Structure 1
């Protein structure tokens, strides 16, 4: 059965909801997401039970506010406080895998989930790489190896802390297609473009834009992606609605 898949995917590094005004507000993050109306959100910089964000489970709160399924990758896991990557989805999450990729200042991770979209399964990858080059030199080969194992169709999103002129990003672009920004804006308040969305399959439509909201020090990137996908019906796993 041939299906036309249309997805709106957001990548958003939220800095635990701390905006450009220095104030933390998770409700502002939820408002930004609501205005954009994405099907899937790849979040980086999410707190769970951290003192700096009022000991709240930010992912659980966002999932409830937005009415979305959710899963989490705790890059930093200290007893009961966590910090890491998350995925929100209007489609059922049928599986998740976490791969840790190290880091000198804080541990980083790759979150890989499979979504059930009608009769099709689509893979979403979310990552947040280190700020310093010496960290990324160690992390990049692990990420590359993980990506090489993935089948089509997969969407890769994240805060890479690298612009597209970085050698690793150029190598990535040789195998994956970057969803190009249409409004040519930075993805961070310092003027850099370091948040990206990629696909590993031919598309009929793949465009992205930056939404310049000040709810974080990063601006969300939202992509519209359409492709033809032909595959037999996949089995949906049990307990697929929430993999926090």
Structure 2
């Protein structure tokens, strides 16, 4: 194998897309699993694996991740919740990496959120911290570094990650230190991707695509796969599906020798 297939997908804890009532759409993780399996990717990055509890408690073991592991027995896996926080709102949390080749040097890094106040059904709230996870694997004799991230959606708080750039800078510094084939994938929650792309290009990374919308709820390109000069993207596709409010991004890569 001279290359590999990569799948990036925010699964929103298995909640399907219903344009008429998106917040009350049913949860069907079996559909999510079927969508993931049909791409037969070598590496998979997932966001919003679990549904958060409003009290900040985190189920251990994480139930959706356990079901995904059972349904993907040929994969090695790495999962992490963000830091537990009683302020957590009942949306999606938790990141996972799946790889057909063994994972090593697993890591996680907290991404602090600023204390930006926002209204949530009449209550003043501040956002919880986010997390980045990573691991390495070996494909065709090449050691590949994989990072997976889910940044705070500042546009939902009436501000931007350009104004509050701490999380983006923290990730950029990690990329700056990368050595060898490296990929960064995830839900970057940026409504204007241009400045984000410029920022990561400055540390040697380009995105697979920045034109096709990846979110059903608003016409934004939120999901990306960034890669460095040790890799070449030979094909990519934004997959039309309604098994989540996000669309999967699939890309095929080759090594640049």
TM-score, normalised relative to structure 1: 0.81
Aligned positions, number? 221
Measured against aligned partners, the alpha-carbon deviations of 1:151-179 in whole angstroms (never above 9, x if no partner) come to 12101111001256442322212321222
Distance 1:90 1:49, change over 3 A: farther
In the alignment, the residues of structure 1 paired with residue 220 and residue 30 of structure 2 have an alpha-carbon distance, to the nearest angstrom, of 25
Match of 1:199 among 227, 230, 235: 227
In the alignment, the residues of structure 2 paired with residue 69 and residue 98 of structure 1 have an alpha-carbon distance, to the nearest angstrom, of 16
- Counting only pairs closer than 5 Å after superposition, residues 155-194 of structure 1 correspond to structure 2 as 155-163=183-191, 165-174=193-202, 175-180=204-209, 185-189=212-216, 190-194=218-222
2:181 counterpart of 1:153: yes
Which runs of 5 or more residues in structure 1 are unaligned?
230-244
Q: Secondary structure at the match of 2:173?
A: helix
Larger strand proportion, structure 1 or 2? Answer: 1
Asked if 1 retains the 8 angstrom alpha-carbon contact of 2:108 and 2:132, the reply is yes
Measured against aligned partners, the alpha-carbon deviations of 1:30-88 in whole angstroms (never above 9, x if no partner) come to 0111111111111011117859xxx6621121111022211112114359xx9321101
Measured against aligned partners, the alpha-carbon deviations of 1:208-229 in whole angstroms (never above 9, x if no partner) come to 2111111111001011001145
2:6 counterpart of 1:9: yes
In the alignment, the residues of structure 1 paired with residue 242 and residue 82 of structure 2 have an alpha-carbon distance, to the nearest angstrom, of 25
Which runs of 5 or more residues in structure 2 are unaligned?
19-24, 87-91, 114-125, 155-159
Q: Secondary structure at the match of 2:78?
A: strand
Q: Secondary structure at the match of 1:186?
A: coil
In the alignment, the residues of structure 2 paired with residue 185 and residue 87 of structure 1 have an alpha-carbon distance, to the nearest angstrom, of 24
In the alignment, the residues of structure 1 paired with residue 35 and residue 144 of structure 2 have an alpha-carbon distance, to the nearest angstrom, of 25
Q: Secondary structure at the match of 2:212?
A: coil
Flag the structure with more relative contact order, 1 or 2, with Cα contacts below 8 A and sequence separation at least 6: 1
Asked if 1 retains the 8 angstrom alpha-carbon contact of 2:10 and 2:187, the reply is yes
2:94 counterpart of 1:84: yes
- What is the aligned-residue RMSD (CA, Å)? 2.6
Match of 1:26? 29
